[in-house]
Amino acid sequence: MKIGIIGTGGIATSAHIPNYQSAGAEVVAVMNRTKEKGETVAKQFGIPNVYETVEEMLRHETLDAVSICTPNAFHKTQVLQALDAGCHVLCEKPPGISENEAKEMLQAAKRAKRTLHFGFHYRHRADTELLKRMIDAGEFGDMYATTALALRRRGIPGWGVFTDKELHGGGALLDIGVHMLDLALYIMGYPKPTEVLGHVGQYLGTRPGVGLLGEWDATSFSVDDTARAMVKFENGASLLLDVSYMANLEQKDVMRVECRGTRAGATLFPLTVHTEKHGALFDETPAYLEQHDPYARQIEHFLKACQTIPDYRQAEEAVILHHIIDRIYA
Ligand SMILES: NC(=O)c1ccc[n+]([C@@H]2O[C@H](COP(=O)([O-])OP(=O)(O)OC[C@H]3O[C@@H](n4cnc5c(N)ncnc54)[C@H](O)[C@@H]3O)[C@@H](O)[C@H]2O)c1
């Protein structure tokens, strides 16, 4: 398959380009707003063509699929451009910056009859895949509660434009919260939300302080550093969410999902399953589980999906995800 990359920053060079290449796909073109950056990356990975605009790349190349690795505010427009040009699309997370954008992307995928996936690599971890197989086999009974935590003690990114509301659409919630929110919803089978109670704020990001992920500019910090929510669903289940970029916590960094079913519960990461058997309470962990790189797995999964019937499921889920995020911000 012939692949084009839009945006040649951190995630493109660490996850997308090398994993396409090792999966046997041909990355034939890159596009970056700053062309010199695109040229440097093309040279590094042996990619023949470099473009300065998406239009130019789509006009000159015959691409099967495109990865979108730009700041969040550009995702929707570039997803639509690539789909309308007949490409399958793997867009980095978050899908967009609002429910309306997610709806536009879903319609565009259906119109183009092309697969649209998003960069939720936690779904592709070996322990998540195992948990999902167990849930799908009915071993957890009815899933009635989940808790999703994405907490950093001092973790505002010191690179990119993550603290700029205009370019990223949101902060901790849209950047790291979205990973664990998606994962909890995925584990629950993406039920329909009926009520959302949310709390977002800027408490520490606007003041200078210790930066464990580099120095950020507190004077221009325009996004949320805190987001907390409770979501209730049509099927009676509920989800609790707790997210921070920077907070006075004990833990340095927590990415965690807990789920509770009527027959078993589980904690990720790593996977522990909690059950009751024969009058005793068990905590079970896999003694052997073959590991793989979740980013590589995601690319393999995307390439495979491009070769069968168009897959709109993730685009449909993105509408629910962004509905919840919109309600939390509201
Ligand atoms: N899946 C993950 O765990 C993960 C990790 C990091 C980043 N991301 C996502 O990837 C995206 C990019 O993040 P990053 O860390 O690579 O950022 P980055 O700042 O390192 O890279 C972004 C690149 O896009 C380029 N760019 C900016 N505007 C552009 C435009 N309009 N058209 C083309 N190129 C443009 C920049 O020059 C830069 O090269 C974000 O959506 C982010 O949320 C996902």
Query: Does 182 sit in the ligand 1 pocket, CB within 6 Å?
Result: no
> Residue 71 maps to which CATH number?
3.40.50.720
Query: Does 32 sit in the ligand 1 pocket, CB within 6 Å?
Result: yes
Looking at residue 186, its pLDDT comes to 98
Mind listing the pLDDT tens digit for each residue in 289-299? Answer: 999 999 999 99
Same domain, 289 and 196: yes
Long-range pairs, 77-84, Cβ under 8 A, ≥24: 78/6, 78/54, 79/105, 79/108, 79/116, 80/104, 80/105, 80/108, 81/54, 81/55, 82/4, 82/6, 82/54, 82/58, 83/108, 83/109, 83/111, 83/112, 83/114, 83/116, 84/108, 84/111, 84/112
Same domain, 33 and 10: yes
What interhelical angle do 99-112 and 313-329 show, nearest 10?
Answer: 170
Query: Does 35 sit in the ligand 1 pocket, CB within 6 Å?
Result: no
Same domain, 131 and 250: yes
Would you call 319 helix, strand, or coil by DSSP? helix
Q: Is residue 204 part of a domain?
A: yes
> What are the φ/ψ torsions at residue 166 (nearest 5 degrees)?
-60, -45
Looking at residue 97, its pLDDT comes to 98
Mind listing the pLDDT tens digit for each residue in 114-127? Answer: 999 999 999 999 99
Same domain, 267 and 212: yes
Determine the distance separating the centroid of ligand 1 and the alpha carbon of 71, expressed in angstroms: 5
Same domain, 25 and 69: yes
- Return the exposure string of 232-244: e unless at least 16 CB atoms fall within 10 Å of the residue's CB, then b: ebeeebbbebbbb
pLDDT band of 39, cuts 50, 70, 90:
very high
The domain total for the chain is: 2
Looking at residue 255, its pLDDT comes to 98
Determine the distance separating the centroid of ligand 1 and the alpha carbon of 4, expressed in angstroms: 15
pLDDT band of 208, cuts 50, 70, 90:
very high
Contact 214, 157 (CB under 8 A): yes
Question: For residue 9, which atom of ligand 1 is closest to its CA?
Answer: 21
Q: Is residue 289 part of a domain?
A: yes
Same domain, 116 and 215: no
Q: Count the neighbouring beta carbons within 10 Å of the beta carbon of residue 55.
A: 12
Query: Does 121 sit in the ligand 1 pocket, CB within 6 Å?
Result: yes
Looking at residue 170, its pLDDT comes to 97
Task: Name the residue of 33, 178, 179 whose CB sits within 8 Å of the most ligand 1 atoms, as the mutation to test its pocket.
Answer: 33
Same domain, 275 and 228: yes
Mean pLDDT within 231-256:
97
Query: Does 74 sit in the ligand 1 pocket, CB within 6 Å?
Result: yes
Share of the chain above pLDDT 70, in %: 100
* Angstrom distance (rounded) from CA 327 to CA 23: 39
Same domain, 204 and 99: no
* Angstrom distance (rounded) from CA 258 to CA 140: 13
Q: Is residue 316 part of a domain?
A: no
Same domain, 59 and 197: no
Mean pLDDT within 64-83:
98
Looking at residue 251, its pLDDT comes to 92
Atom 40 in ligand 1: residue holding the nearest Cα: 71
- The mean of the pLDDT values for the chain is 97
Share of the chain above pLDDT 90, in %: 99
Q: Is residue 63 part of a domain?
A: yes
Q: Is residue 140 part of a domain?
A: yes
> What are the φ/ψ torsions at residue 259 (nearest 5 degrees)?
-130, 145
Structural domain containing residue 78 = 2-121+298-309
Q: Is residue 212 part of a domain?
A: yes
Q: Is residue 315 part of a domain?
A: no
Query: Does 92 sit in the ligand 1 pocket, CB within 6 Å?
Result: yes
Same domain, 168 and 51: no
Mind listing the pLDDT tens digit for each residue in 174-194? Answer: 999 999 999 999 999 999 999
Same domain, 55 and 149: no
Mind listing the pLDDT tens digit for each residue in 246-302? Answer: 999 999 999 999 999 999 999 999 999 999 999 999 999 999 999 999 999 999 999
Query: Does 98 sit in the ligand 1 pocket, CB within 6 Å?
Result: no
Query: Is a pLDDT exceeding 90 seen at residue 160?
Result: no
> Residue 237 maps to which CATH number?
3.30.360.10
Same domain, 155 and 249: yes
* Angstrom distance (rounded) from CA 156 to CA 309: 40
Question: For residue 13, which atom of ligand 1 is closest to its CA?
Answer: 16
Q: Is residue 142 part of a domain?
A: yes
Task: Name the residue of 44, 80, 92 whose CB sits within 8 Å of the most ligand 1 atoms, as the mutation to test its pocket.
Answer: 92
Determine the distance separating the centroid of ligand 1 and the alpha carbon of 79, expressed in angstroms: 14
Atom 43 in ligand 1: residue holding the nearest Cα: 93
